[in-house]
Every structure is written in C-alpha cells, then in structure tokens.
Structure 1
C-alpha cells in the first residue's frame, strides 16, 4: 500500500512538472522596455551541425532528436520552433496600437534531446542552444542584436517517463511547450 502511495506521489509530482520549466544561461538581454508582438520566426541552422541517430545514452553530436519518426531532423526542429512561435503569437491578449511588431531570427547551434534509450532509463536534459535576433517586422531593422540563448529542460526517465508518455505527454510536447515559454521570456 505504501509503495503504491509513493508511486502515485511520484506520478503527481511529475505531472505537476508538466508545466514547462527549465534553466538557461543566455547572453544578457539589452535593458530596454519591451512591448513586442511576435509576427514571425525565421529559422536557420548552422551548416556544419552533426546529427546522430544512435540510440546511446549520450550520443556525441550537435543534433540528437528522437521525438519524431526518423527523418529530416533539422526540418523537424524548425517545425517545433515554428509551432512554439505560433503559440507565443496566440498568447498575446494585451496588444495595443503601440505594440511593436517583431520578427525573430533563430539560428540553431545545438539541439540535444534524449534518445529512446535514455528516455526509458536514465532520463537526461534537453539542451537547446540558438542565436536570437529581434527585428522590426515593418522595416527589418535590428531592434536587439544577436544574442545566444541556452535553454535546458529536464528529461524524465524510467517509469515516470513511461507513465507520462503513456498519457500523451511526449518529449515533443514538453520541448515545444518549453520553447514557447523560452521565446516568450526572451521577448518580455
């Protein structure tokens, strides 16, 4: 009975963690007043990024993504960033005529998710690094110069991951939610 109680408590704790959270140590943002409405995201990836499909605990590569079926990983990651940006666009309910419309340029440096093996054993960290530039949507002028954003999201492992994943909270959902929160924070 006590073991079942502990199992339920662990599951509830994991569900409470469904809200995107994470850490980052990004370049400092300029100290300016921000009132932005995100209207678009331009995605690019560094040309020399290495990609691994290995199912090791920690493959050595710039891109490790097993949250989609095997395919064009950069296109899959671009789609995640676009979805995150669309959520940021939809979440602004306080738009005024003075709200500055912006577009962000994202250049992917690293997207290190977890493999299926890590996901179902040890867990780990989704380590996402990208350069971000904020531009005026009307003039394309740079409002905020390029800065490096480093974002880390804990990846569940073992039984907790299996239970949460079975309820539909996949790593793709968690990473997309986390990136939406990260982009929103960068524009506040």
Structure 2
C-alpha cells in the first residue's frame, strides 16, 4: 500500500492580519501543490484514512455584512443565505474526502478538522481592487480508527492564500474559477503535499 507522508505541527501559509481584505498583491489563478511549502525531515506514516470529519463549531460567528472586513469567524457568499456553518462543512468535506481517499496504508485513521476560521470574500471586496485573501484555518487531529488513540495533533493548520479581485475576479467567475473552486484546490493541494507527495498530485481533481 501507499505510504503517506505527513509533517506534524506545520503551519502552512502565513495568516495575515486581515481576511478577504488586505493582503499581498501577488495573486494567482492557479493554486497547486507546488504552492505548499515543502519542509525537510518528513515523518513517513503508513496511514489509511478511513474517515474525514469536518467540524464547524456553532460557537464560530458568521456575518452577512457586505463590508471590507466583517468581524466574524465565517464569511461565505457563494451559497444562498442560510446555515453558513453547514455550508462550510459541506464545501470542505466535498474537497477533502476524495483527496484523502487516495491516502492508503496499513494503519486505519480518522482525520478530524475543527475549523477555527473560514473567511472568504464579501461582494464588496471581490469586485474591488483591494488586495484580499481566502483564510482557511483549522485544528487537525489524527486518531487510530479502531482504538481512538491520538496519533498526531492537535495541530494548527493555516491555508490562507491570495484571492482574486476586481477584473481578475470577473474574468475568473466567467471561466468558472470561483472562490469555491480555488478553495477546494487549495485544500486538495494540501492533502497531496502533506499525505501523498508532489509526485502524486495528479490524483487530485477539484470539482466545481
């Protein structure tokens, strides 16, 4: 079986002071595995991911304010107004479950992700020229699927990355390159780099 690669306690990406608002102007439409930092001294784990659990606590605040930076933990606009916690959980699960399905080994594990921040763009920011980011932060814990023993974590993970804005966002939307797609690609690239390896990145295909 395939040996999965994992870097314990690695912070991926830099969480800047603002979400979906002020960021670097170095934006890219394609976020792939090469965007994820490679760390030396990787610990090889012979894991088989039996289940992925995405938990979005109800204690996280959500905002519908169309401001530059709503004061909330969750900002999401690409689903109709509704249960934003459930929408974020569904988005992340849809991206991560097929990605983790490619991680196979001898030790069955459950990967639990407790979301701490999911801050996408408001309409005001997305169609302006204000540099912005997609903030995806969570705490990961890996347990043995049979015994419940914690094998890794809890580990803080930060997958914040530059967002598209202004005319770039308009063009991207027309081409189907939505926030949902780019966030899904980011999550899948992380799984590839952390658990599979760059050579197998082609196994992961993000869906709209």
Shorter-chain TM-score category? 0.7 to 0.9
Pairs within 5 Å for 1:1-188: 17-20=29-32, 32-92=43-103, 95=104, 98-121=105-128, 122-187=130-195
Give the direction of change, closer, same or farther, for the CA distance of 1:17–1:100 in structure 2 (3 Å limit): farther
Give the direction of change, closer, same or farther, for the CA distance of 1:36–1:20 in structure 2 (3 Å limit): same
Larger Rg: 1
> How many Å separate the matches in 2 of 1:142 and 1:52?
34
> How many Å separate the matches in 2 of 1:147 and 1:174?
23
Kept after mapping to 1: 8 A contact 2:63/2:71: yes
Paired residues in the alignment total: 167
Ranges in structure 1 where 5+ consecutive residues have no aligned partner: 1-13
Higher strand proportion (structure 1 or 2):
1
> How many Å separate the matches in 1 of 2:58 and 2:82?
18
Q: What TM-score does the superposition give when structure 2 sets the normalisation length?
A: 0.70
Kept after mapping to 1: 8 A contact 2:117/2:136: yes
Offset at 1:164? 1.0
Give the direction of change, closer, same or farther, for the CA distance of 1:89–1:145 in structure 2 (3 Å limit): closer
Deviations 1:46-72 (A, max 9, x none): 342111111112111111111222111
Offset at 1:100? 2.5
Offset at 1:79? 0.7
Give the direction of change, closer, same or farther, for the CA distance of 1:40–1:184 in structure 2 (3 Å limit): farther
Deviations 1:14-53 (A, max 9, x none): 7x732346568xxx9x963223332211222334211111
